[in-house]
Amino acid sequence: QVNNVLAFPGIFRGALDGRARRITEAMKLAAAHAIASVLNDDELHPDYIIPDPFDGRVVPSVAEAVRKLAQQHQA
């Protein structure tokens, strides 16, 4: 359920902020990279490979990545 909890809130926020007309595969990939970039190397360990759903860095990071992509494709 990674997509429902970690990805979708930021994807939707970024798509709205970027005035996207549709959610693209590129946006989903940007969201995945943003989620992966939230954790620092020192935070990663075998039992902790994705951010906690309540980590306040996740949604803003995903939203910003998706917004940037949406705005680039509108230009």
* pLDDT tens for each residue of 21-70: 999 999 999 999 999 999 999 999 999 999 998 999 999 999 999 999 99
pTM: 0.90
Place 75 in a pLDDT band, splitting at 50, 70 and 90: low
Taken in order of first residue, the domains within the chain and their CATH numbers are 2-74 (3.40.50.720)
Residues facing 45 on adjacent strands: 48
Q: Cα(18)–Cα(21) distance, rounded to whole angstroms?
A: 9
The token pair that represents 20 in the structure block:
């996207």
